[in-house]
Amino acid sequence: MQLGRRGFVTLGLAGLLGACRRGNVGDMVVDGKGERMYGMRSDGSVFTDAALYPNRRLKLSVRNLSGDPVWDLDSVREQILQGYLAKGYLRSDGVDFGLKVDLNVVRSQQFDRDVMAQFALLGAVGTAGAGAGLNASQNGPGGAAGGAAMGLATGATLGAIAGYFVADNIYVVVTEATFAVRRNATRPRRVVTFDGSPRIEEWEESGYGSFAQVHRVTIANYGGGRMVTQQEMADDIRQRQIRSLISLL
């Protein structure tokens, strides 16, 4: 009887120790100690290359509509731009550019269920494996690729960690990214010449410039932690968001 009690206690302690370690949840990334859990979601991507464009000068703007004052836009802009330059794009002087990237941080805050309600990509539930398996069985082009996309859309998301950590230690950053290819704006020249008169040149405005192609992607990084301060967790998520934005192109 005494041995049975000891065995019960031993099993109970083992169970408690196992419960303290955070296992992987869906497609979340868990750090080595299990104290932090990270996730990333996007509703699309941009498939392109700098070599495709005759004018590779890229104009980058970074905006912050989230109201979070910790974003140093000048520093973030330069950090992201350096990432793009390393991929073969060129720095624009602000006037001459062929490509435009606009990054708008729309949410940067602690966990709030309103965020999940506003951004569908953060509120999906299910398993990535089930989504991929379902769509991969379909015939025709896009079967496997479509399955991966479906799995991405139905994987575990921000809601999966809501029950693991207190809300104050769950942080989320959502950025609306726009990539646009500029259409060559022209100003046709009209030349008027009179017999015996000096040559007169007139320029006509053709209207506002425009973009030939526009791609919009919403990117979210989020995560939670224990034994960690709010500031540390928020800094982690912001840095992960910057790396994701560099990977946009």
pLDDT digits (tens, 9 = 90+) for 140-160: 333 333 333 333 333 456 777
pLDDT at 132: 30
State the pLDDT at residue 31.
76
Q: pLDDT, tens digit, for every residue of 158-187?
A: 777 777 788 888 999 999 999 999 987 555
pTM (predicted TM-score): 0.71
Q: What is the rounded CA–CA span in Å between residue 16 and residue 56? A: 57
Count how many Cα atoms sit within 13 Å of the Cα of residue 246 in the half-sphere of its side chain.
19
pLDDT computed for residue 249 by the predictor = 93
Among 66, 36, 68, which residue's Cα sits nearest to residue 223? Answer: 36
Task: Please give the Cα distance from 201 to 190 (Å, whole number).
Answer: 6
Each residue's pLDDT tens digit, 97-129: 999 999 999 999 988 888 888 888 887 543 333
Mean pLDDT of 79-106: 95
Place of tokens 């069985």: 137
Q: What is the pLDDT of residues 7-27, one digit of tens each?
A: 433 334 334 334 444 455 556
Buried b or exposed e, range 188-200, using 16+ CB within 10 angstroms: eeeeeeeeeeeee
**% of the chain exceeding 90 in pLDDT:** 39
Rounded CA separation 36/44 (Å)? 26
pLDDT given for residue 194 in this prediction: 64
Calculate mean pLDDT across residues 198-220.
76
